[in-house]
Amino acid sequence: MTIAVVNQKGGTGKTTSTINLGKSLEEKGKRVMLVDMDPQGSLGYSLGIVDKDKTIAELLYGEADLSEVIVSREGMDVIPSSVTLADVELSLVDAENREFRLKEILEQLTGYDYIFIDCPPSLSMLTVNALTASQYVLIPMLMEVLSLQGLDLISETLAKVKKSLNPELSVLGILPVMVDRRRKLSSEVFDHIQSNYDFKLFDTQIRPNVRASEAPSFGQSVITYSPGSNSANDYLELSEEFLKLV
Ligand SMILES: Nc1ncnc2c1ncn2[C@@H]1O[C@H](COP(=O)(O)OP(=O)(O)OP(=O)(O)O)[C@@H](O)[C@H]1O
Ligand SMILES: [Mg+2]
């Protein structure tokens, strides 16, 4: 099963959620693959993968085999990215089957329970490739008023992809991240989403926690870096909810 982690806004916890939901599932005995579709390369970097010469970019160009690109970290498999992915995006602009490149690659993967795709903060051709290759979408979101505007845009993009490229696609839910439960504002945003959108909101909320932001400097998931922290516990709870949903 393939899940795209999407939000065209920057810094909404996509990469953090991809790594830590993945790691939480790995701890439950699931076989997990994480794919970085962001030219920023934060996913690999956050897991201590640096200077890899073959990445998702070379895979998409057809210049590398899967076995050259996959790196193992914390019991998970990872396909890292690099800035070259930005060039791939440009070269896809008028290529044939441009929306299906990632899907064709991921179809060669066998033996994984869950493949998570960490998307860039845009609704670009890279994100469209991720959406075309996935069954589910997970949307990490800050519970702020400005996030709501973004939600309309995601809805439109999902509807288009579903109609013309991938009828199977469905939204697993919106994951509220960095939620300060004492703030009234977030609850207004919650209410707005519940009354205006069909998207499910996860019951699990990810609290702001400094451990989550420290873990990448150590090249580790927060589950490994700081077991028992609020962040580790929140993502473990999310993995339980995730397993019930899928
Ligand atoms: N629960 C949390 N508490 C505190 N800091 C967090 C939490 N989750 C993520 N962060 C920090 O917030 C920043 C943004 O998170 P992250 O990189 O996961 O977002 P992103 O959506 O992937 O960003 P981008 O759009 O740039 O790819 C990072 O510095 C991360 O360490
Ligand atoms: Mg990211």
Position 109 scores a pLDDT of 97
Domains of the chain with CATH codes = 2-245 (3.40.50.300)
Closest residue (by CA) to atom 1 of ligand 1? 208
Point out which residues pair with 175 in neighbouring strands: 140
**pLDDT tens-place values along the chain, 246 residues long:** 999 999 999 999 999 999 999 999 999 999 999 999 999 999 999 999 999 999 999 999 999 999 999 999 999 999 999 999 999 999 988 888 999 999 999 999 999 999 999 999 999 999 999 999 999 999 999 998 889 889 999 999 999 999 999 999 999 999 999 998 777 667 888 899 999 999 999 999 999 999 999 999 999 999 999 999 999 999 999 999 999 999
Using the mean position of ligand 2's atoms as its centre, give its distance from the Cα of residue 215 in Å: 14
- Token pair 């060039």 is found at 87
Position 186 scores a pLDDT of 77
Q: What is the pTM of this model?
A: 0.97
Using the mean position of ligand 2's atoms as its centre, give its distance from the Cα of residue 14 in Å: 5
Position 145 scores a pLDDT of 87
Neighbours of ion ligand 2 (CB under 5 A): 14-15, 42
Closest residue (by CA) to atom 29 of ligand 1? 213
Quote the tokens at residue 170. 């469905």
Are 20 and 222 a contacting pair, CB within 8 Å? Answer: yes
Using the mean position of ligand 1's atoms as its centre, give its distance from the Cα of residue 10 in Å: 9
